[in-house]
Amino acid sequence: MFGTADLSAELVGDSETHVLQPLLDRCEDYHQLVYGRPALPDQARNIPSERPPGLAPGQAHLIALRDAQGGLAGVLEALRDFPAQGEWYIGLLLLAPEARGQGRGEAVLSAYEAHVRAHGGRLLRLAVVEHNTAGRRFWERVGFQPEQWVGPIEHGLKRNRVLKMTKALD
């Protein structure tokens, strides 16, 4: 799909989401922050069932981010043309703890933005949990603008307000 200097992006089919479970397990900090608990043993298998209803085939993208040795360094989940034509929604961009703080998140996002533009995308959307201050700083640093607060919304054992954010793609 796309790549960065040291990561490649590979589509993961809905029947193969289990390959992401070790990454989700390693990202306990994220799961504690958002859900108030570690990743569930079947968290990766549940990803397709957590998407909005009524998506067309191929509208949801689950992308494994692999390092040069083929190891799983991150995951990106997004929806094409959601909620409207030309708008793409990033549901999750999560890097393994050992892959963070090295500019990889920005590199992945930049490469993904080029991919989105090449496929008719004009706007990216996402939502960040209120207590994820590092995540919010990241999204603001890469050009996302706050749109509105919603919630609280149930996430696992927690109820979180989330900030909807957008970024226009030139």
| pLDDT for residue 1 | 78
| pLDDT for residue 164 | 97
| Confidence band for 105, pLDDT divided at 50, 70 and 90 | very high
| pLDDT for residue 6 | 92
Contacts of 117 (CB under 8 A, 6+ apart): 169
| Confidence band for 3, pLDDT divided at 50, 70 and 90 | confident
pLDDT, average across residues 150-167: 92
Instruction: Tell me the three state secondary structure of residue 148.
Output: strand
CB 5 within 8 A of CB 124: no
Per-residue model confidence as pLDDT tens digits over 21-42: 999 999 999 999 999 999 999 9
* Residue 144 pLDDT > 90: yes
Per-residue model confidence as pLDDT tens digits over 50-102: 999 999 989 999 999 999 999 999 999 999 999 999 999 999 999 999 999 88
| pLDDT for residue 156 | 85
Please report the domains of the chain, with CATH numbers, ordered by start residue: 8-168 (3.40.630.30)
| pLDDT for residue 155 | 87
d(CA 50, CA 47): 5
* Residue 133 pLDDT > 90: yes
* Residue 170 pLDDT > 90: no
